[in-house]
Structures are given as structure tokens and as C-alpha cells.
Amino acid sequence: MLRFFENLIDPYCDYPAEDRPPQRLFPFFMGYSKPFRGVFIATGVMSIIVAAIEVGLIYYMGRVVDLLEQGPQVVWDTYGAELIAVAVFIVFLRPILQGLDVALINNAIMPNFGTLIRWRAHRQVLRQSVGWFENDFAGRIANRIMQTPPAAGEVVFQTFDAISFSLAYLIGAAILLTNADPRLLIPLVIWFALYLALSRWALSRIGPASQAASDARSAVTGRVVDAYTNIHSVKMFAHHDREELYAKEAIEEARRTFQIEQRIFTVMDMCLVALNGLLIVGVVGWALALWMQGTASVGTVAAATALTLRLNSMTAWIMWALSAFFRQLGVVAEGMQTIAQPITLVDAPGAKPLELTDGRIELDGLSHHYGRGRGGLEDVTLTIPAGQKIGLVGRSGAGKSTLVKLLLRFYDAEQGRILIDGQDITHVTQDSLRRQIGMVQQDSALLHRSVRENILYGRPDADEAAIIAAAHEAQAHDFILDLQDPEGNEGYAARVGERGVKLSGGQRQRITLARVILKDAPILLLDEATSALDSEVEAAIQSTLYQMMEGKTVIAIAHRLSTIAQMDRILVLDEGRIVEDGDHDALLAQDGLYAQFWARQSGGFLNADEDDTP
């Protein structure tokens, strides 16, 4: 039976992705709640029914007390059937109704609602541009993705388990007291007004305090993950103390914001105890006074007493439920700062897949400065015929990496355009563009998965023979067979660690090469493709690289000028502009920047770092 409730909602159902999600909390929540609307309505109805049953039992307890005054035999003869019917209801029907209420909340809503939000939030974040990720901590992004779904689930849980139930219970209590004696409603109304005032005071402070505490916890996560991700640098520079202090600042801020949050709860609890004392004395005292005057029965006093004691026990729970409700809303609001950010780099309306026929690349007045007005590229116009192999050379910040990132459309150019086979890349789908481009980066980071999965990333439908062939071409097969991870996986099944940290730089580079070889894309980008390889392995792999380049349009960035000397054409970038263009011999003859680089390179390397990102 529980499986029926668990399968009422498919958390992975289709939905229209939004480039600009709602920026306000309620519309954001409602958007994610659409598949659950029918279940929410049913759960709300069941909460009201359960609350009505609870109030009805208290009412019936008062009725039984009054009936007892008539004596055992009279009660049994007159009301026996009624008592049996009520007993059957309590023993059999009540658990079924209660079970339906609990199953809807615990089995239909809770597992699926959080899963739906986590799935959709992750998909939304994956759609963000590379530049968006470069502006935030990966740890903080992941923390918000992970903490928002349970917080949203808690909001829904408290809505039905506490808030709707308590409202229905309070209304039922008011009706019960009114039927017994309308004057009993007076202390209840006074208490409820004071209770609302206390709730308003507390909740107006809990929301901001909870969001501040949640922000502080995310900051802790971001700093801690930053240290763990860069543990090699921490160890290499022996900066344990600095990292401890850096984390301690965030941890202390998290403690301070949590203390502020808890102060509100303490004041709330103290006031609540005083208010509940007034409720008990007011309702029960008044009921006793009415009984002494002969205008209320013993059953009325008993029902009023049971009701107020039940309200007394419920009020702290309701206040805590409301506090949890608004506290978790604060967490959801913080998560929205990441999840609900607009997608700024999107496919154009009606964008079609790139139809690559030759691989001709044209840059037309291309300028990009990352919004700073300097750095990057400045008015670059260039045509790369299909199949031509281009080498890019320049000092650090000259614009080499910017050109590659714009070609991959990791950013949209601020001015100008890029065309591939006559198609503006902003008018084709991003996925189709990147599927036609293979890239080997200087930073050859790998996924924390097996070697096989990392190589398959180049072409997921490849068979085992193709994977092994690519590894052979990349001079990686032999060392892969010797790999073993702590779980005992060996060879191609061995996991490489986060970002491939369990492998040497050269091993990572060769697995990256194998991945690109397997992809076999018609456009090839090489950003220091052999920088992490020793001379012997590089010499062995150069022939593989040249084979990879055959029939492809190639753009290669290199500081080791000897690796690009055989290119069809070499471009020299300086301050974002192309200042020299020609083959190796022609550029040497010009005696310009390229000739200077060639003359002073040491060990075959150009003495200029590759980093022109913002």
C-alpha cells in the first residue's frame, strides 16, 4: 500500500525549463509545487478531518462524563449501541484515516518533493555558464543545492502536519466551547490574540535570523571545501594555521548568528509558558465558575479542561513548528540566491544544431573584455580556412585563452561575432557547437570516476575496443593497467580521485588526450596539450597529435614554440590584437615579437604564463 503513495508523484516528470525563474519566494515555491497540487489538497483535507476527530473525541469525553451520572445500567441499556459504535470508530476507522493522512505526508510528499527540487535545481545550475561558476565557490553552490530540498520539504511538512492541523483544531475548539457555553470562548479569544502577537514578534525576527545563520553556514562550507579542494597548495606552503584561522572566522560568524537565532526561541518559550498559564486558568476557571452557578455540567468542565490541557501541550509544538516553517523558508530563500539566478547565456530562440561541413572559422570584429573595458580581445578579425592548423602565441593576458573560450561560447562576445561554416555560433545550440569541438586543456582535470568513464566522456556510445585504442594512441594504456584505487578497482575500472589527484600530471594529460581522441571532433583546440608530459612521452605522443590534426581545423596555444613551429600558420597576440600572422619562417624573417620569443625561449619554452582570464 505504501508503494502506491510513494508512486503518486514522479519527481522526474517533464517540465518547462525557465531561463528566468521567479525571484520571489512564493512564486518560486508554487512553481516547484505544481505536480503536487492534487496531493496537497488531499493532504489538507485529511489534516482537517484528523483535527476534527481529535476535537470530537474531547467533546465525546465530556458527553460520557455527563452520561455516567445516570448510573451503569441506564447508560448501558440506553447508550450501549452508541458507545460500541464509537469504540469501533476509534479502534478501526480512526487509525485508517490517521494512516491516510500520515501516508500522504510521509510517503507521497516528503521523499518526492525534496527529490523533485534537488533534481530540478541541479539541472538549472548545470545550465549556467562557465563564467557564472567562476564567480562563486563550488562548495557554496553545492551546499545550497543540497540544503534547499530538505528545507523545502520541512516547510511543506509543517504546513500540513502542524499549521493546517492546528488551525482546524483551534476552530473546532472554539465551536466546542461555544456549544457548551458561549462565555467560555472569551478567555480563548483573549489568549489567541496574545498568542498571535507573540508569534508575530517571534516570526518577524526568526526569518532574517535564520537566513543570516544559513548564509553563515554556507560560508563555512565554501571555505572548508575550498581548503580541501586545494589541499596540495595548503600542504605545499605549510599554511595549516592560515587555513584554520580562515575557517575559524566563518565558523565563529556561524556561531554568532546561531546564538541570535536561539535567543529568540528562548524568549518565545518563556512568554509561551506564561500565556498558557493564563489559558488554563481562564478557561478551566470560568468553566468551574459556571458549574458552581449551575449553568454548566460536569461534562462541560471535563471537556473544557481536556481541551485547554491539549492546547497547552500543542502551543509550544505549534510555535516551534511555525519557527521551523519560517526558519526553513529562510534556508529556501538563501538557496534561491543560487537556484533562481537567471540563465544569461542561452540558446537563441529557434536555434538549430550546427551543421558542420568543412570547419571554416571566421572572427569578425571580435572584442571581449569580461565587462572591465580592458584585457581579453580587441577588434579581432580573422579567417581560418577549413583544415588549417593555427598556432597562438603571446604574452600572459594577450587574449589567447579568451579567444578559445569565445569559440566554445563559454562567454558571449561583447562585440563582433564568430562564424563556423557561415553559421553564427550564437544562433546554433550550445551543445551542438561543443560536440563539434575537441579540446585538450593545460589544466587536465578529470572527473572523480573510473578511468573508463573519463575516457568515455569523449564519446559515451563508444565500445571497449575504441576506448582501449584511444588509450593506446595517447600512450596511456600501459600505466592504466597498473592502476588500483583504495576500493580495489583496477585498470580501467580504477577511480582517479577528485579532479584526478591520484594520478600524476602526465597521466592525467594522457587520459585527457585519450578522451579527445575518442571524441574525434572536426575542430580541435589544444591549450598546452603536452605541457605536463616528460620529454620522452611527449616525443612519443607528438606523432599521435599530428595524426589527430589530420583533416581537422586546429587552434593550438603553446609556450613551447617548437611544438607549433610546424603549424600552417602562427598568430601572435599582443594586448588583445593580432600583431603578426604567418608561418614560422616568415615570422622569424619579420624580426618582430615572434622572433624575440623564439630567440629568448629557454629549453624550448616561451617565458610567458598562459592566463588571460578575468
- What is the CATH classification number for the domain harbouring 387? 3.40.50.300
pLDDT tens digits, one per residue of 323-359: 778 778 878 888 888 888 999 889 999 999 999 999 9
What is residue 532's predicted lDDT score, i.e. its pLDDT?
53
What is residue 8's predicted lDDT score, i.e. its pLDDT?
92
Confidence tier at 115 by pLDDT (50, 70, 90): very high
Max mean pLDDT among 142-146, 181-185, 526-530 falls in 142-146
For 181, the domain range is: 22-339
Position 517 in a domain: no
Max mean pLDDT among 270-279, 396-405, 442-451 falls in 396-405
Q: Are residues 79 and 219 in the same domain?
A: yes
Confidence tier at 88 by pLDDT (50, 70, 90): very high
What cell does 443 get?
589544466
Q: Are residues 287 and 378 in the same domain?
A: no
Q: How many domains does the chain have?
A: 2
Does residue 49 come out as left (phi exceeding 0), alpha (psi in the -120 to 50 range) or beta? alpha
CA distance 147 to 277: 38
The DSSP H or E segment spanning 605 is: none
Q: Vertex 48, ends 46 and 50: CA angle to 5°?
A: 70
pLDDT tens digits, one per residue of 540-581: 667 777 778 888 999 998 777 877 888 999 999 998 999 999
* Over residues 136-160, mean pLDDT: 85
Of 269, 304, 339, which one is at a domain's C-terminal end?
339
Taking 90 as the threshold, does the pLDDT of residue 366 lie above it?
yes
* Over residues 302-325, mean pLDDT: 78
* Over residues 403-411, mean pLDDT: 92
**What is the pLDDT of the chain when averaged over all its residues?**
86
Confidence tier at 613 by pLDDT (50, 70, 90): very low
Position 219 in a domain: yes
Q: Whole-model pTM?
A: 0.76
Q: Are residues 275 and 385 in the same domain?
A: no
pLDDT tens digits, one per residue of 221-247: 888 888 887 887 788 788 878 888 989
Taking 50 as the threshold, does the pLDDT of residue 608 lie above it?
no
Question: How many other C-beta atoms lie within 10 A of the C-beta of residue 510?
Answer: 27
What is residue 534's predicted lDDT score, i.e. its pLDDT?
62
Position 9 in a domain: no
Q: Helix (H, G, I), strand (E, B), or coil: what is residue 70?
A: coil
Q: In the β-sheet with 577-582, what is the strand arrangement from edge to edge?
A: 437-440, 523-527, 553-557, 389-394, 569-574, 577-582
In terms of Cβ atoms closer than 10 Å to its own Cβ (0-12, 13-18, 19+), residue 167 is: middle
- What is the CATH classification number for the domain harbouring 181? 1.20.1560.10
The candidate with the shortest Cα–Cα distance to 524, out of 588, 584, 465, 438, is: 438
Q: Are residues 51 and 162 in the same domain?
A: yes
Position 80 in a domain: yes
Taking 70 as the threshold, does the pLDDT of residue 607 lie above it?
no
pLDDT tens digits, one per residue of 499-547: 666 787 778 888 988 999 999 999 999 887 665 556 666 666 677 777 7
Q: Are residues 181 and 218 in the same domain?
A: yes
Q: Are residues 309 and 400 in the same domain?
A: no
> Which residues are CB-contacts of 239 (< 8 A; sequence separation ≥ 6)?
233
CA distance 421 to 359: 6
Confidence tier at 610 by pLDDT (50, 70, 90): very low
Taking 70 as the threshold, does the pLDDT of residue 611 lie above it?
no
CA distance 332 to 147: 8
CA dihedral 228, 233, 234, 236 (to 10 degrees): 140
pLDDT tens digits, one per residue of 123-136: 999 999 888 888 88
> What is each CA distance from 475 to 121, 407, 437, 521, 542, in whole angstroms?
40, 29, 22, 20, 11
